Chain A
Amino acid sequence: ETGVTQTPRHLVMGMTNKKSLKCEQHLGHNAMYWYKQSAKKPLELMFVYNFKEQTENNSVPSRFSPECPNSSHLFLHLHTLQPEDSALYLCASSQEKRDLPYEQYFGPGTRLTVT
Chain B
Amino acid sequence: GQNIDQPTEMTATEGAIVQINCTYQTSGFNGLFWYQQHAGEAPTFLSYNVLDGLEEKGRFSSFLSRSKGYSYLLLKELQMKDSASYLCAVGDSNYQLIWGAGTKLIIKP
Residues of A within 8 A of B (CB): 4, 40-43, 45, 48, 56, 90, 96, 100-109
Q: Which of B8, B44, B96 has the most CB of A within 10 A?
A: B96
- Contact between chains at A102 and B44 (CB < 8 Å): no
CA of A62 to CA of B43, assembled, Å:
27
Q: Which of A41, A90, A96, A103 contacts B45 (CB 8 A)?
A: A103
Given contacts A43-B87, A90-B42, A108-B41, contact A103 B48 (CB under 8 A): yes
- Contact between chains at A104 and B101 (CB < 8 Å): no
Residues of chain A contacted by B43 (CB below 8 angstroms): 43, 90, 106
CA of A100 to CA of B30, assembled, Å:
7
Residues of chain B contacted by A96 (CB below 8 angstroms): 95
Q: What are 16 residue pairs bridging A and B, where the CB atoms are less than 8 Å apart in the complex?
A: A40-B8, A40-B102, A41-B101, A42-B101, A42-B102, A43-B87, A43-B89, A45-B96, A90-B42, A96-B95, A101-B31, A103-B33, A103-B45, A104-B97, A107-B42, A109-B42
- Contact between chains at B31 and A42 (CB < 8 Å): no
Shortest Cβ distance from A48 into B: residue: B96
Residues of chain A contacted by B42 (CB below 8 angstroms): 4, 90, 106-109
- Contact between chains at A101 and B45 (CB < 8 Å): no
Q: Which of B30, B33, B87, B99 has the most CB of A within 10 A?
A: B99
Q: Which of B48, B50, B99 contacts A42 (CB 8 A)?
A: B99
Residues of chain B contacted by A104 (CB below 8 angstroms): 45, 97
Chain B nearest CB: distance from A96 CB in Å? 8
Q: Which of A40, A42, A100 has the most CB of B within 10 A?
A: A42
